[in-house]
Chains A and B, each alone.
Chain A
Amino acid sequence: MGKADRLAGPRRMAGFIFAPWWCGQVALIQATSVLAWLLYLYVWARSGVHAPRGRAPIWWCMPGMSSGASIGASVPVKVVSSLPMWLLMAAAMMLPGALPAAQHVATNTFRRGRSRAVGAFIGTYLLIWIAFGVAAEMLITAVGVAPGGAVFAVVLAAAAVYELTTVKRWALNRCHRSWPLPPSGLHSVIGVARFAWISASGCVASCWASMLAMLAAAGTRPLVMVGVTVAMTYERLTRRPRSGRQRVAVGYSGVAALFLLAAV
């Protein structure tokens, strides 16, 4: 493979995400994702997860971490208090990979109904990711494992193995699926919601292991978030999904090995 071929994937990904879209609704999704990243980093910096004197209120609880004001809170309180951060994380991490699907919705809708259709799609899509977040939060609380280097390394290694399974391939295929969208009326709303369900459920099934690995990271979480987002978006946008999954698996394995060595 030549250098040009090797660079084609990342260049295409960057070109896709930052392309001058003719559709304003998709541009809005891009902007929302950028804003979510900035807000997340701001909140993380003030949350006290990485510093002993955090000043964030309870409703900014970091998912997967008992920190700050949420220490000692009941499970329902923890779950509810982590919802705003889950929303931010989902918007930051998942929206770049959802751009092709959002574009599909925008293109296949009458111009006058485009905002409503794209809004319904993104709303449903994020809702499904937040539901996953709640489930993950409850699982982590139930297991009672504190995030940290060794735990992160083990979960990331498991995520690397998952990348190579047929279940992952099936899930990523589902994530890629398009769906016929009725042009107007109630049928249109139902069609968009159904498409969002297919797309998001495929993405959850495809990326749950990566997300759990990200939750298992402690002080380096923003960095891990960036890495996982790049990996997930790359897998979703690359034209070579099998090679893409293999590359992500190799990358995850390498990072897991480094963290394991550091922990030992």
Chain B
Amino acid sequence: MSAPATVFVRRDIWSLQADDVIVTAYADAVSRMRGRAANDPTSWSYQAAIHGTHAKPNRPGWNGCQHGTWFFLPWHRMFLYYFEKIVRAAVVEGGGPADWALPYWNYGLGGVRAELPLAFRQPKLADGGDNPLYIAERAEGMNSGAGSIPARAGSPAKALARPEFIGKAEFGGDRTAPAQFSKSGGELEETPHNVVHGLVGGRGLMGDILRAAQDPIFWLHHANIDRIWSDWIGVASHQNPREGSWQSQPFAFFDEHGQPASLRCDQVLETIADLEYAYDTEPSPPTSPPGPPPAHLEVATVSKPEREMVGATEHEVVLTGEQVTASIPIDAQAAARFGPNVNVYLNVEEIAGESNPGTGYTVYADFQPDRPVDAQSSRHVGNLSFFGIERAREPAGDQAPHALQSSFEITSIARELEARGEWAGHELRVMFEPLQLLAASGAGEHSVASPAHRDLPVRLGRISVFYDA
């Protein structure tokens, strides 16, 4: 396939000055789009509603976002692609650069880069006008720069380490039908995606799945998630799903002229060749192109893997913003069937709450209170966040309700415990530690959001351990 004539390059927002033309042109375009009629598909509110909205009745394309599903990554890539075209047209309309591309926010780098980019913090511009990139409804400490995204929340390392795309605890999520909010999200969707939504938005726009895209930083956050997908697929052994039900799934959007447009998942797999954009950190392409899909893959979509519960809590665990531990008795008889090909998963099931409290949690398995902090970090199995929790039981649109669930692979921890004779017949201690913004040095009188959410408790119906062959 020949390379396209123009490749738009998405740049790291922190590599740009706050008054860089890419940033100022974005602010100008946001302002222009906000000025358009609400029923114009290229308007700011309409584009945000394509992701999600509380407004009724539903207009074409609204509430189309895909979460908790293996379509999460391709749907958001398509969404950003059309949004970028619309913004670029608005940028050109305002006399900005014709090669404008959406910047990304790489909070995973830590340090100052984990703070909200400067251009998004101030309510007023230098000329005294309103800053279109500023949103008041963000977590305390975000706009002031007092808080930054902690490494455990912003780092994509755990997601990038997953070898497979498909699976609840794998990179891209498990097989589901298209759904605005299903229950089988992948590792990247959970961390950093969901966790950063909560940390940036708190109980404001970014923390609410139906209002998140109204915040201009939403798009830079998702450009970063999209970039991480590009990084992951850049590893030769990694593959996107090759099943027809994923590859041929279309999703509908609007182009820069406000006309309906659609793409299939298999049309967005190559960012340069298919969509004419690249990241300034674009990794090397895979060393060998993927071969044809093996014949058994389609069959795999309907077969049920052998899963067996080996332990579960008797009672629910309630999270209110404090550190909580729970003990899971590992049944001696059930856990004895620990074959060499068995993977072990820690499941947090039946997660229920009124709405996203804006606080996430780091999850530790085999937690021992007297263990040194450094050793404790090896027991960090992932993060738990509640982005979209209010949509699980009462989904918008035409979707069946379901409970929220998170899964973490803990095979290596389980094998270590088994080797020490502390697995079958023993208790696995799990700890949930609230995730909060890191207080930046020199934050002065500004504070960061408290993790407490006693007014919005989140109930974990059960914590279980499963074998999955």
Contact = CB atoms under 8 A, between A and B. Distances in A.
Contacts of B400: 176, 238-241
A184 B316 CA distance: 15
Given A173-B401, A239-B399, A240-B398, A180 B307 contact: no
A243 B314 contact: no
A173 B391 CA distance: 13
A173 B394 contact: yes
B393 A173 contact: yes
Nearest to B304: A22
Interface string A196-240: 000000000000000000000000000000000000000000111
A178 B312 contact: no
B349 A180 contact: yes
B308 interface: yes
Interface in B370-417: 393-394, 397-403
B310 to A, nearest CB: 8
A77 B237 CA distance: 71
B308 A15 contact: no
Interface SS, B side: loop
A82 interface: no
A90 B403 CA distance: 27
B177 interface: yes
Interface stretch (A46-54, A63-71, A103-111): A103-111
Contacts of A179: 350, 461
A24 interface: no
B334 interface: yes
B308 A241 contact: no
Contacts of B315: 182
Interface residues of A, number: 27
Contacts of B306: 22
B309 A110 contact: yes
Given A173-B401, A179-B350, A19 B302 contact: yes
Nearest to B245: A8
Given A108-B309, A112-B333, A182-B314, A242 B398 contact: yes
Interface string A180-192: 1111100100000
A178 B403 CA distance: 7
B462 A180 contact: yes
Interface string A29-53: 0000000000000000000000000
B312 A183 contact: yes
A177 interface: yes
Contacts of B350: 178-180
Nearest to A178: B403
B20 to A, nearest CB: 45
Interface residues of B, number: 31
A183 B393 contact: no
Contacts of B394: 173
Contact of A108 (B312, B316, B334): B312
Interface in A92-138: 107-112
Interface SS, A side: loop
Contact of B402 (A178, A180, A243): A178
Interface string B319-354: 000000000010101100000000000000110000
A8 to B, nearest CB: 8
B90 interface: no
A160 B287 CA distance: 59
Contacts of B309: 107-110, 183
B464 interface: yes
Given A110-B334, A240-B399, A183 B304 contact: no
A242 B309 CA distance: 33
A111 B402 contact: no
Interface in B146-184: 177, 179
B461 A243 contact: no
Contacts of B333: 110, 112
Interface in A50-92: none
A235 B376 CA distance: 48
Contacts of A107: 307, 309
B401 A176 contact: yes
A75 B437 CA distance: 69
Contacts of A21: 304
A15 B302 CA distance: 8
B311 interface: yes
B89 to A, nearest CB: 31
B198 to A, nearest CB: 23
A240 B395 CA distance: 11
A109 B462 CA distance: 12
Interface in A237-264: 238-243
Nearest to A236: B400
Given A107-B309, A239-B177, A176 B304 contact: no
Nearest to B312: A183
Contacts of A178: 350, 402-403
Contact of A182 (B312, B398, B402, B403): B312
The CB with the most chain A CB atoms within 10 A, among B307, B314, B393, is that of B314
Contact of B398 (A19, A180, A181, A243): A243
A241 B398 contact: yes
The CB with the most chain A CB atoms within 10 A, among B179, B393, B398, B402, is that of B398
Contact of B316 (A176, A180, A238, A242): A180
A143 to B, nearest CB: 35
A181 B314 CA distance: 8
A111 B308 contact: yes
B402 A19 contact: no
A126 to B, nearest CB: 23
A177 B350 CA distance: 10
A179 B461 CA distance: 8
Contacts of B397: 242
A112 B308 CA distance: 11
Nearest to A244: B398
Interface of B: 177, 179, 302, 304, 306-309, 311-312, 314-316, 329, 331, 333-334, 349-350, 393-394, 397-403, 461-462, 464
For the complex of A and B, 4 pairs with smallest distance between CB atoms: A180-B461, A180-B462, A242-B398, A183-B312
23 contacts: A19-B302, A22-B304, A22-B306, A108-B309, A108-B462, A108-B464, A109-B309, A110-B331, A112-B333, A173-B393, A177-B393, A178-B403, A179-B350, A179-B461, A180-B349, A180-B350, A180-B461, A182-B314, A182-B315, A183-B309, A183-B312, A239-B179, A241-B400
Interface of A: 15, 19, 21-22, 107-112, 173, 176-184, 187, 238-243
